[in-house]
Every structure is written in C-alpha cells, then in structure tokens.
Structure 1
C-alpha cells in the first residue's frame, strides 16, 4: 500500500490513462478526487474513496477553486496528477486559432495554474508530488500535430522549471511521457484500418517489449512518482513507451 493515507487529485481520471492512474492509486490505498466535466461511471461513483469535482479545465478562472474544493473532500491533498488533455489534428496551414487556444488552455494553462493552486495544500502536508502527463510527442511528433506537440513540449519544460521552484518547499515535480497507450480512441483507429489484425501486429512489432501500453502501465509509474520511494526524483520527464522511440528503423 504505497499510497496509504495519501489524497490525490487526478484531472480527467474517469477514462483512458487517467482511469488507469485512478485504479492503481485506489489499489495502493489512496483517496482520489477526480476533476473533469463529465460524471463518473457507477463503478467509481459508488466508491467511498473516490469523489468527483466537476470542472471545465479550459476555464482558467475555475482552476484555483477546483483545487480548494478537492482538498475539502478528504481534508487534504498530497498528490496532483495533471492528466487531462486534448488533441485536435490540423495541418499547420489549416490550424484554427480557436483549436490552438483551447488545446493550450487544457494541456498547458490548466496544469500550470492547478499546480500553483495546490502548493499551499501540499505545504500543509510537509510537501508532496506533482505529476504532469506529457507525451513522446513533446520530443518526436506526427503529421498534423503541431499544436499538440507544442503543448506537450511546454508541459515537459514547465515540469523542470516547477521542480526548481518548488523543491525548496518539499514538492517534487515530474512528468510521464507515454507512447502508444491502448484506449477506446486508439482501438477505434486500428479498427478503421483495412486489416485491423495486421495493423495491430505491425504496431506491436514497433515496440521492443512486444506489446502495446495499457493505462495501468502509466498508473504503475504514477504510483511510484506519487509515493515516498521516489523522494530523490524530481524534474524528470520519463518516457514510457515500451522502447518504441529508441528503435531505429531498419532498411527493407
């Protein structure tokens, strides 16, 4: 029970990577507050160690209030996981300003100002951990992802700067940069291919570990970063991609 007696605030924790983090945090004994627009499903909603605080993370004026409300639920906060994010695909020549602004608001502004708001609560506990969910696309990227890649690169840089500012008060800041993580959206994408079985096989072959990532893989790392065993780790961006980005392509 690595997170016993700890309270975590996880944005976008109802599905995908966020859900994997929430599930692992609960298994390790934490109480979890999920901040997101949509309601939780029945499985989470019925648990006494889970609470939901509704929020539109693109509304910067709501960020400080949502942290205070989250801290009230279980009486404290020890961990903030900035997980929620958006991705809209546009070629750079066709990127609308409104999509850029909304993506940056949710992916960059919200993590920054949620982190600012949580500092006072973490200091009451003698310190704590802030975990930002970045992406391998903050380092390498795909076509039509200029806005998304920019936002995740910003998250990585912000994480390092936050670690410097907050280290003296006992708050560690790290980022997880996931690669391909299985989700409803990724499965829909693979199912859209002419031969889904072949597409999944080819994708698996890109990963030296021989499989695709799961949300709980990110959750496992988030448990370590949120717990006391990572007390000397701060300011790092940890790539979690099954080795995919270290593998050079080979000629046919």
Structure 2
C-alpha cells in the first residue's frame, strides 16, 4: 500500500455513534472500529495511506435472512423504518458503494481519519429503531 499510496475503508455503522437497545456488543464493536479507523489514519498517514470509515444507517441487505421473520413481517418493518427516515427510504447497497467510491477516489485525497455517515438522515432525525 505504501507504493501505491492506497487507502483503507472500513465499514462500520451508525450504532458506533448512536446507542441501540439489545445490541450493545455490536454497538461497542462498531465504536471500536471507528476509533481504530482514526488511530490507523494517524499511524499510516506519514506513509501516505489514508484510512476512513463509512457508517451506514439501515440498508436493505440479505443479513435479515438469518432472522426468523416472514417476508411480510420484514416488509412491514422496512416500511416503518423508511417512513422515519428524512429521505423517505432505507439505503440500498449502491448508496454505500457510492460513499466507498468517493473515499477511494482522488476527490477525497485530503480526507483521512473521518467517519462518513451514510444514513439517510437517521442520526439527524434522532431515530431509534428499538
């Protein structure tokens, strides 16, 4: 990475910033990843390696397939969440990919040690999903 002046982009979560009931271990792990991002940015900066994090809000993924809910129950939950978000929807994988692409690109050449929140306004609206 030193030769290519590469960069590292961690994927964290808004729960690294905002607490959430019943998932404290997950919240703590994401908060630790956020601090690791900042520490590595300081440590690797002199080698011209940038380190940043993307912290998504609710994003439509397949992770829910491990939760014992029917498709209809999950649809109702997603619609409820979408209605709370200022942008009127949950995120899509492409939304997070766009944030990663920005941080990986030359337009972000002066960005390191940052936590890029891509959450559809979740934190701004102080939404608590539990």
TM-score normalised per structure 1 = 0.46
SS of 1:159's equivalent in the other structure is helix
**What residue ranges of structure 1 are gaps of 5+ in the alignment?**
1-121
Q: Which of 35, 42, 46 does residue 157 from structure 1 map onto?
A: 35
Return the offset for 1:187. Answer: 6.6
Q: How many residues align?
A: 127
Return the offset for 1:226. Answer: 0.9
- C-alpha distance after superposition, 1:103-143 (max 9, x if no partner): xxxxxxxxxxxxxxxxxxx1122x11110111111111322
- C-alpha distance after superposition, 1:2-40 (max 9, x if no partner): xxxxxxxxxxxxxxxxxxxxxxxxxxxxxxxxxxxxxxx
Where does 1:38-117 land on structure 2 (aligned, <5 Å)? none
Greater C-alpha radius of gyration: 1
Match status 1:128 vs 2:6: yes
- C-alpha distance after superposition, 1:142-166 (max 9, x if no partner): 2221211111101000111111111
How far apart, in 2, do the equivalents of 1:163 and 1:245 lie? Answer: 24
- C-alpha distance after superposition, 1:73-110 (max 9, x if no partner): xxxxxxxxxxxxxxxxxxxxxxxxxxxxxxxxxxxxxx
Task: Name 2:124's counterpart in structure 1.
Answer: 246
Of structures 1 and 2, the one with the larger relative CO (CA 8 A, separation 6+) is 2
- C-alpha distance after superposition, 1:166-193 (max 9, x if no partner): 1111111100011101012337759538
SS of 2:2's equivalent in the other structure is helix
How far apart, in 2, do the equivalents of 1:248 and 1:152 lie? Answer: 18
How far apart, in 2, do the equivalents of 1:177 and 1:198 lie? Answer: 24
**What residue ranges of structure 2 are gaps of 5+ in the alignment?**
none
How far apart, in 2, do the equivalents of 1:202 and 1:188 lie? Answer: 20
Kindly indicate whether the alpha-carbon contact (under 8 Å) linking 1:190 and 1:196 is maintained by their aligned counterparts in 2. Answer: no
Measured on the aligned residues, the alpha-carbon RMSD in Å equals: 2.2
TM-score normalised per structure 2 = 0.86
Deviating 4+ runs (over 2 angstroms): 141-144, 185-201
